[in-house]
Amino acid sequence: MNWYKGGSWMVLLVAMFGVAACGGDAADTANEAVAQTTDAVDAVADMADDAVDAVADAMQELPEGVTMAMVEEGEAIYGGAGICMTCHAPDGSGVPNLGADLTDDEWTHSDGGYEEIVVSIMEGVTADASTSGVPMPAKGGTSITDDQVRAVAAYVWTLSK
Ligand code: HEC
């Protein structure tokens, strides 16, 4: 028998004696610890669920493929390179006999869905189709890129919400 094995038996015996001596208390304490740990794990799981829900809600508010960064970029294009504000007013409420109100939820040239707004801006509105008789040139007559059109459409989409 080597010394190491003998030592292990001693440790085991002492441990068993210890449990036997204070058995009830130790078991209660252990059960309590397990219960508290379970509660804590449940609480963390609830918090994680809430966080996932919040992210899902935030994402549901924007159409598919649209990000907040696009909306912000679109706002700058609306008053900048896209010159949309010259015909639709700085706040998007429209100019009588010129550009339509983009803040109400009434759409003349589409159903107001994001992809349809993209098409309206991409193609513009012919004089015949325009209720004011004034045409909207494609991309407002500017040379903004297709990505910029998608961004400004994202901003326009939020105006009516
Ligand atoms: C030269 C003036 C002019 C410019 C610049 C212009 N628009 Fe327009 N827009 C119009 C007119 C006119 C209409 C049609 C209004 C109507 O039918 O009463 C229109 C219609 C629209 C519609 C369709 C609205 C609906 O009710 O269906 C959208 C969306 C729109 N414009 C967005 C934009 C955006 C975004 C820009 C900037 C990239 C822009 N427009 C630049 C004049 C303009």
Contact assessment for residue 44 and residue 122, using Cβ atoms and an 8 Å cutoff? no
Tell the residue number behind the tokens 């907040």, with chain if given: 68
pLDDT of residue 23: 60
> d(Cα 57, Cα 90) in Å, to the nearest integer?
29
pLDDT band (50, 70, 90) for residue 53 = low
Return the best residue to mutate from 125, 134, 161 for the ligand 1 pocket (most ligand atoms within 8 A of CB): 125
Q: How many Å lie between the centroid of ligand 1 and the Cα of residue 67?
A: 22
Q: Which CATH superfamily hosts domain 68-159?
A: Cytochrome c-like domain (1.10.760.10)
User: What's this model's pTM, rounded to 2 decimal places?
Assistant: 0.73
Average pLDDT (61-77) is 96
Helix 146-159, helix 68-79: angle, nearest 10:
100
| Backbone angle region of 45, left / alpha / beta, with phi > 0 → left and psi within -120 to 50 → alpha | alpha
Which atom of ligand 1 has the smallest separation from the CA of 132? 18
